[in-house]
Amino acid sequence: MTLGGFILRRLLALVPTVLGVTILVFFLIHLIPGDPARTILGNQATPARIALVRHDLGLDQSLPVQYEKFMARLAHGNLGTSLFYNVGAGRLVLQRLPVTLWLLGFGTLLSLLLAVPLAALAATRRDTIADHVVRAVPLVGLGFPAFWVGTMLTLLFALNLGRAFPVGGYGSGFFGHVHSMFLPALTVALGIAPILIRSLRASLLEVFESEYVTTARSKGISERRVLVRHALRNAIVSTVSVLGVNVAYLIGGTLIVEQVFAVGGAGQLMIDSINARDFPVVQAVTFVFAIMVVLTYLITDVVHALLDPRVRFD
Amino acid sequence: MAVAAEAVVEAQIVEHRRGFRRRWYRTPSFVAGISILGVIVLLAIFAPLVSHSPTYQDLLSQLQGPSWHHPLGTDDLGRDVWARLVYGARTDLHIAFLAVLFPFCIGTLLGLLAGYFGGWLDLIVGWLVNTVVAFPFFVLIIALAYAMGPGSRSIYIAITIVGWVSYARIVRGEVLVAKRREYVLAARSAGLSNSRIMFRHLLPNVVTQAIVFSMSDIVLDILAIVTLGYLGIGVQPPTADWGQEIAEGRGYLTTHWELATVPGIAVVVTALALALIADGLADLLRPE
Amino acid sequence: MSTTPLLRVEDLRVEFPLARGVLRAVDGASFSVEAGQALGLVGESGSGKTMALRALLGLLPRTARLAGGSIEIDGVQVVGAGEATLRRLRGRTASMVFQEPMTALNPVLRVGDQIAETPMVRLGLSRRKARERAIELMRMVGIADPVRRAEAYPHELSGGMRQRVVIAIALSGEPKLLLCDEPTTALDVTIQDQILKLLAGLRADLGVSVVFVSHDLAVIAQTCQHVAVMYAGQVVEQGPIETVFREPHHPYTLGLLRSVPDFDVVREHLSAIPGLPPDLASPPPGCRFHPRCAFARTECTHDPIPLLDLGGRTARCLFHEECAAEARREPVVARA
């Protein structure tokens, strides 16, 4: 199968999932106990306003009709209107998205910088003290709440120890971003690194103890060549898989971190909208995040297929 | 024939349990985890006996350091920090342990059915799984909890809707493997009904992995509860909750940093205990 | 007759340290191979034959330990040798053919590149020359359309072709000694035959020596001139295949021969060897086979039995004469 064919097949397989996502997002508003319109308006509720909101949100019609309208609007890229700002919810989210993507990218980079060397260390020195220490990291690390880690990092590096980093914000210019986003990205990285370390170590061990590495050694080539040309290629394939599987967790982590450091990304928009009772925006952000995850699964699959010849010929 | 097949399965289950009973105290991770968790749970249960009220506001003694009367000092509303810590354990652990049951049962059931029957049922369950998994964990939990309003009821429902997926996957995987084992084939050829095979024979063997996972799942649930509390859409004041306490403590990072730090440490220690138990259980329940 | 053997193994010991003691997978095995010869190493699983083979090139699993003895390949001592010495030997003096071709090949590299690696790195050939060499080797091992096949990945080839690739890799360094670890066990019977014929042909054409590990007596009989029978980590009988199979001097060999159905001879009954192989962490005292042996007497249960030199062959049995007599009485191998 060609690469194009592979991508097409994957895209088609994603359609039911995307459909499911829209249904779930659609139903969010109907999970609200009591009258959604009244709850959304909160203490601004008057009968007139309630009726208006009900009509706006299409709540005065039957479910299937509502869903139809929802999907129709979606097809036109309309994710609803913000009750707070009175602009398209989708537009709001897209405005804030670059910050989130920055955080995601930076966080992933830092997590790899942390996880890969540690996992490699543990795998090459199996059952030594170094290995046991590294294996303890996921044990302890997975219990750290992201918002607490962010707060602690703020305490340590933004408020003390020379105040090297700002307490929050996005900064301006590339290096401004790097500076301001370092602590948030580190928080995200520390959130996912334990999982990566555990999975990577297992994958690397599997590679090191595989028969084809023994075959490579039996050729009498240098150990470094064995590692780089044989072990590493296969290890990278596993790494991509591991990253892909955990991307949903990664994206979820950015949400809270954004709020803790007030960087103004899409995640923070969601929290702010929750506090401002701006339901359409909450819905929109949820939807966008899900689509991001789905896209990332697709990209991971494609990269995996590029690296591992076995996958393409499924 | 049916009796023979059952006898085989019974023998296997007994083998499992005997091995467990014999070895649990020799598995260091399990023992360590149970001990730590035991202390925390005991403190939580006997909270009224080991501390003062967590909600009583003594506005004359705000933000005080540790003293005889207040072992960990007081917070900005004059409440005893130690009491809030212990009652926070009470709240959060109580919800977490309860919240893990619904996803466990629903997920295990769906995984069992999907794995055993395959076909359309498997496709539909698979579709549901893929849909839920497309959402980042916290995003969906927060959205659901927000939609359903504050309070613990929303937390239970949100965790159930999001959490059943892992159990379904695990159990389904185990069933697919176990389906081909001799004891199942024997039971089928003996003419046992599907439900009998599923619940009497398959379930005891496939559920062990789900049980091991549930320990890690409780950690996730605690994190979810605490995060929701931090954001203000979970457990509502005045009920004590670690997440709230960290949020409240943030305002005093420069002067009283322990207010935000200590509840977090409590979460970490609890999570560590549960992770150790999960590790130990995985070791113990691993087939020889 | 006293040419230095290409491979000389003496009193080889391979151990696995366990929680409950030490598992001696190979406990004092000795055998040798002359230039151009094929030696079969035969035994059940757990006899130590695979570990003995792996020890020859220092390719033991991580948890195993080479605990003693001497291994001389082309005059070079392997036991206690440094990595550099071992690496020099591997691929050029001796190379291995593995059992499972699917796992022995790197899944993400093309087979042509995998075959060309040793010529390029060890023989110093240019990339293009190494490529040509690889195609030549593929032709030699009987892979049709080698130019196209060289671009394939392992999973695109059939089991038999993959094994041919593994053999090509083993030959690519022009070794003098080929160490084969059950190379046909994972293949279909028809493919098995092809591969065995291929190996025999290569040996005749290239003059390489072969050590062939297998549990299958028929396979060994087809490919080797000499055989060493292993049991519980030791060599219990060694000699030319003709003589050993026609008139075994060890009860274990006799038992093995009797338990194999042979289409050429219709025998009265097939007999399996009673009992189970011993626990290698605590083997029985005296002769390790005595609990399962029909000829065992009290002398067999005390001291370890030495390998007796019977002139041109060896056997580790005090009652080897009786065993041979029994074999003559009801022969297993009828033809010459």
pLDDT tens digit sequence for A236-286: 888 888 888 888 888 888 899 999 988 888 999 999 888 888 888 888 999
Q: Find the DSSP H helices in C172-216.
A: 189-206
pLDDT of residue A248: 85
pLDDT of residue B239: 87
**Cα C248 from Cα C242, distance rounded (Å):** 10
The answer to whether the beta carbons of residues A157 and A142 sit under 8 Å apart is no
**Cα C291 from Cα A201, distance rounded (Å):** 45
- The pair of three-digit structure tokens given for residue A130, joined into one six-digit string: 């170094």
Chain A partners of C177 at a C-beta cutoff of 8 Å?
A: none
pLDDT band at B125 (very low <50, low <70, confident <90, very high): very high
> CA dihedral in degrees (A36, A41, A46, A50; nearest 10)?
-40
Q: Find the DSSP H helices in B24-100.
A: 28-45, 47-50, 81-99
CA C101 distance to own-chain centroid: 16
Q: Which residue in the set A17, A31, A147 is minimally distant from B227, CB to CB?
A: A147
Q: How many CB atoms lie within 10 A of CB B111?
A: 29
**Cα A73 from Cα A66, distance rounded (Å):** 11
pLDDT band at A145 (very low <50, low <70, confident <90, very high): very high
| Chain B: closest CA distance from residue A293 (Å) | 6
Interface probe for B, chosen from A39, A97, A142, A148 (most Cβ of B below 10 Å), is A148
Cβ separation of A216 and C106 shorter than 8 Å? yes
Q: Which residues 60-79 in chain C show a CB within 8 A of chain A? A: 61-62
| pLDDT, mean over chain B | 83
pLDDT of residue C128: 92
Classified as helix, coil or strand, C17 is: strand
Chain C partners of A214 at a C-beta cutoff of 8 Å?
A: 59, 98, 104
pLDDT band at A305 (very low <50, low <70, confident <90, very high): confident
- The pair of three-digit structure tokens given for residue A69, joined into one six-digit string: 């309208």
* pLDDT of B9 strictly over 50: no
* pLDDT of B168 strictly over 90: yes
Classified as helix, coil or strand, C214 is: strand
Whether A223 and chain C come into contact, CB under 8 Å, resolves to yes
* pLDDT of B260 strictly over 70: yes
**Cα B115 from Cα B175, distance rounded (Å):** 5
Cβ separation of C62 and A230 shorter than 8 Å? no
| Chain A: closest CA distance from residue B241 (Å) | 14
| Chain B: closest CA distance from residue A195 (Å) | 12
Among positive and negative, which fits the CA dihedral A140, A145, A146, A151?
A: negative
Tell me the β-bridge partners of C309. Answer: C314
Q: How many CB atoms lie within 10 A of CB B6?
A: 18
Whole-prediction pTM value? 0.80
| pLDDT, mean over chain A | 85
* pLDDT of B188 strictly over 80: no
**Cα B171 from Cα B151, distance rounded (Å):** 31
pLDDT of residue B2: 45
> CA dihedral in degrees (A241, A246, A247, A252; nearest 10)?
180
Nearest to A189 by CA among A98, A260, A130, A257: A257
pLDDT of residue C275: 80
Q: Which residue in the set C83, C108, C169 is minimally distant from A215, CB to CB?
A: C169
pLDDT over 70 percentage in chain B = 91
**Cα B93 from Cα B41, distance rounded (Å):** 8
What is chain A's percent helix, strand, coil content, to nearest 5? 80, 0, 20
| Chain B: closest CA distance from residue A13 (Å) | 10
For residue B67, report the phi and psi dihedrals to the nearest 5 degrees: -150, 180
- The pair of three-digit structure tokens given for residue C177, joined into one six-digit string: 């000694």
Cβ separation of C118 and A221 shorter than 8 Å? yes
Whether C89 and chain A come into contact, CB under 8 Å, resolves to yes
pLDDT band at B13 (very low <50, low <70, confident <90, very high): very low
Interface probe for C, chosen from A212, A226, A312 (most Cβ of C below 10 Å), is A212
- In this predicted model, what pLDDT tens digit does every residue of B135-154 receive, in sequence order? 998 899 999 888 888 888 88
The answer to whether the beta carbons of residues B155 and B235 sit under 8 Å apart is yes
pLDDT band at B14 (very low <50, low <70, confident <90, very high): very low
Q: What is B206-261 written as a DSSP string?
A: HHHHHHHHHHHHHHHHHHHHHHHHHHTSSSPTTS--HHHHHHHHHTTTTT-THHHH
Mean of pLDDT values over B233-237:
85
Burial of B102 (0-12, 13-18, 19+ CB in 10 A): middle
**Cα A118 from Cα A104, distance rounded (Å):** 21
Classified as helix, coil or strand, C80 is: coil
Which chains border C (3 or more CB–CB pairs < 8 Å)? A
Edge-to-edge strands, sheet with C65-73: C21-33, C7-18, C65-73, C76-77
The answer to whether the beta carbons of residues B155 and B228 sit under 8 Å apart is yes
Cβ separation of B147 and A143 shorter than 8 Å? no
Classified as helix, coil or strand, B179 is: coil
- In this predicted model, what pLDDT tens digit does every residue of B29-70 receive, in sequence order? 888 888 999 998 988 888 887 777 777 777 777 777 777 777
Cis peptide before A36 (omega within 30 of 0): no
Edge-to-edge strands, sheet with C38-42: C94-97, C177-181, C209-214, C38-42, C226-231, C234-240, C314-315, C308-309
Burial of B173 (0-12, 13-18, 19+ CB in 10 A): middle
Our CA angle for A251, A257, A262, nearest 5°, is: 125
Tell me the β-bridge partners of A88. Answer: A81
The answer to whether the beta carbons of residues B85 and B246 sit under 8 Å apart is no
Interhelix angle A279-307/A266-275, rounded to 10 degrees, is 160
pLDDT band at B15 (very low <50, low <70, confident <90, very high): very low
Q: How many CB atoms lie within 10 A of CB B282?
A: 19
- The pair of three-digit structure tokens given for residue A128, joined into one six-digit string: 């030594």
* pLDDT of A205 strictly over 90: no
How big is the A-B interface in CB pairs under 8 Å? 147
Q: Residue-wise pLDDT tens for chain C (336 aa)?
A: 456 888 999 999 999 988 778 888 898 888 989 888 899 999 888 888 999 999 999 898 888 889 889 999 998 999 888 888 999 999 899 999 998 888 899 988 999 999 999 999 988 889 999 999 999 999 999 898 999 999 999 999 998 899 999 999 999 989 999 999 998 888 888 888 888 888 888 888 888 999 999 988 888 888 899 999 999 889 999 999 988 888 889 888 888 888 776 655 555 566 677 788 888 888 888 888 888 888 888 888 888 888 888 888 888 888 888 888 888 887 776 554
pLDDT band at B264 (very low <50, low <70, confident <90, very high): very high
Helix (H) or strand (E) holding C8, with range, is: strand C7-18
Interhelix angle B137-148/A247-261, rounded to 10 degrees, is 60
